Amino acid sequence: MKAAVVWEPGGKFELAELTRREPGPGDVVVRLKAAGICQTDLSLSAGGFGQQFPAVLGHEGAGEIVEVGSAVSSIQPGDRVLLTWVPPCGRCYHCVRGETYICSKRKRAADIDIAAADLQYGNLPVQAGMATATYAEETVVSATAVLPIPKDLPYHLAALLGCAVPTGVGAALNAARVTPGESVVVIGCGAVGLSAVQGGRISGATTIVAVDPQESRRNLASRLGATVVLSPEEFDAYPPPSATGFDVGIDAVGQSRTIRSTWNAVRRGGRVVVVGAGRADDIVEFSAVELFHDEKTLRGTFYGSSNMAFELPRLIELWRGGQLRLEEMIDDVVPLERINEAADKQISGGALRVMIAQ
């Protein structure tokens, strides 16, 4: 089968013919119809998060079931599905409490044994990045890693619901729990940040300030629900909606300076949610007195704190009702052969999201 391989850290994607393993009793084979290029995949391609090489990356994906393992009865060939990169085991401490998004059995890039790889190039093992490997014609995953999608949802829109959208919308709905009439500031207007803007609008926030250095992304944020759009420099001088500050701040960048800026903008008793994936050595400092005195809530959110078995149907209904606008977040849809072009556009900021279709 054809797949886009990254052979070494910082390398380009290169199309190659690979073989995949046969599905085990609890596995399914998905023929990919669409995949998204997420910032996480670009970070992994540069060697981030302990990624091993060679690898086939990609974790936003949707497609059709073509084969199921002998123990799989919940799904069958021909079913349309979305892949989730945090398949819940259903048994760990977190899963039994409904926190499937932080399942302790999730495979991280550094944890996947490349010697027992799902993919091979001749006799050379190739890692299936994030155990999903959606930049390929087919992928083998656990049956718990797929969720059914309806026929009226196009594959390229469905793929967006695999990571960026539930992460951003969930940051507003699940982690921040924005309520009608509140004020929200979102720092960073990539795909996750813009989804958070939409989440704030869906939640009924009356003031949504979106901050980003790129004018094109600020303009899109305005179309998707932001009531005010600002550059970082403008935000530094921007007065909050009240003398006390914003009710909610969502940092979709994940850098110490932006987290600190978000914290400073939020009122006493407000909520700060960090959804951007930062570096382990980027330290954010708070004084003991401000943590005590300001009584703000500071929390992270992984995968938008989204239990996908519940979240996916909700997102689809919001899309059907016109409240969740997916089409406007996609700049282009290209074949797998143009993956490098698509990645370069996103790295340069020339595109928000380019989807791969097969």
Task: Give the domain ranges of the chain.
Answer: 2-161+326-357, 168-302
Q: What is the pLDDT of residue 107?
A: 75
pTM (predicted TM-score): 0.94
Q: Which DSSP category does 175 fall into?
A: I
What's the rounded Cα separation, in Å, for the pair 193 and 153? Answer: 23
Q: Tell me how far apart the alpha carbons of residues 137 and 270 are, in angstroms, rounded to a whole number.
A: 46
- From first to last of the 358 residues of the chain, give the pLDDT tens digit: 999 999 999 999 999 999 999 999 999 999 999 999 988 899 999 998 889 999 999 999 999 999 999 999 999 999 999 999 999 999 999 999 999 999 998 877 667 776 667 899 999 999 999 999 999 999 999 999 999 999 999 999 999 999 999 999 999 999 999 999 999 999 999 999 999 999 999 999 999 999 999 999 999 999 999 999 999 999 988 887 777 899 999 999 999 999 999 999 999 999 999 998 888 899 999 999 999 999 999 999 999 999 999 999 999 999 999 999 999 999 999 999 999 999 999 888 888 999 999 8
The second-level CATH assignment, the architecture, of 2-161+326-357 is Alpha-Beta Complex (3.90)
User: Class for domain 168-302, per CATH?
Assistant: alpha beta
d(CA 94, CA 13): 35
The answer to whether the 2-161+326-357 and 168-302 domains have the same CATH topology is no
Residue 236: strand, helix, or coil: helix
The distance from CA 36 to its chain's CA centroid, rounded to whole angstroms, is 10
Position 109 scores a pLDDT of 67
Query: Could you say which DSSP state residue 223 is in?
Result: H
